[in-house]
Amino acid sequence: MNFAEAADGAEIAWTSEGEGEPMLLIAGQATAMDGWGPTAELLSRYYRVIRFDHRGIGRSGKGEAERYTTRLLAEDAAAVLDAAGVDLAHVYGHSMGGRVGQWLAIDYPQKVRTLILAATSGGRSPDAGMQPDRAALEALTSGDMSRLEPLFFDADWVRSNPAATHTFFNSHASAWAKVRHFKASREHDAWRYLSSIQSPTLILHGIEDALTPLPNALLLREHIPRSVLVRVPGAGHGLHLDHPETVEWIRQFIAGKSRSSG
């Protein structure tokens, strides 16, 4: 386990596995790096995978309360890349991690080779079709695994991967940190800045995602120049884990962009 020092002195825990081009994984709201589980293992066969615990989560320090915004969490991510000795990385963010990844690409364009956004949004919208329905939101705030599982994962995947499911939903986090993560994610608003993203961007989104409905991905596609959207049939909010075929799509996207820039 390694630690990066954030701007306020908070220690951000991170790990690295595999070889090849660096890929930074940014986890979702109140989710520790361990939640990437089998996806991180699979990606590490092809890339140097760098994971970290957001401040207040897992083994990272909680830091200052006012630094719990998606834009400042992106500063933490940049500090991890610096600590890992990485100048340029592929960045893969899930849910709130995708929101953080957007700011990383906006504020630190020189650090982001490609951007992969899964099950995420550019921020709030008055459009009701972009909001989670009440039942989904209540399940999210309940923290009840039995209510959350159907929103994230395919039932067969859960039965076949009980350890990964348990790890994903049981990250070590205080109520203090969870509240601030929830607020950071809900208050994210990057819509007017997304057009400045220059990194080749792949958007992955489950058609059945009730927590971040598909119209969010459609709008991301409109706002981020030359981005590519892949709609994943039958997938919910946890497609980064229960649809391992997405790893191959990511590899193909990255390889294609490498060829086009070579």
> Are the C-beta atoms of residues 220 and 227 closer than 8 Å to each other?
yes
Residue 85 — very low, low, confident or very high, per pLDDT cuts 50/70/90?
very high
Residue 259 — very low, low, confident or very high, per pLDDT cuts 50/70/90?
low
| 239 burial type by CB count under 10 A (0-12 exposed, 13-18 middle, 19+ buried) | buried
Phi and psi, residue 18, nearest 5°:
85, 175
At 196-243, the pLDDT tens digits run 999 999 999 999 999 999 999 999 999 999 999 999 999 999 999 999
**What pLDDT was estimated at residue 130?**
80
At 33-50, the pLDDT tens digits run 999 999 999 999 999 999
Work out the percent of the chain whose per-residue pLDDT is above 90.
88
Locate all alpha helices (DSSP H) within 144-244, ordered by sequence: 145-152, 155-160, 162-169, 175-187, 215-223, 239-242
At 165-194, the pLDDT tens digits run 999 999 999 999 999 999 999 999 999 999
Residue 261 — very low, low, confident or very high, per pLDDT cuts 50/70/90?
low
Q: Is it the case that residue 260 has pLDDT exceeding 80? A: no
**What pLDDT was estimated at residue 128?**
64
**What pLDDT was estimated at residue 162?**
95
**What pLDDT was estimated at residue 126?**
66
Among 36, 8, 214, 44, residue whose Cα is nearest residue 125: 214
DSSP letter at 53 equals P
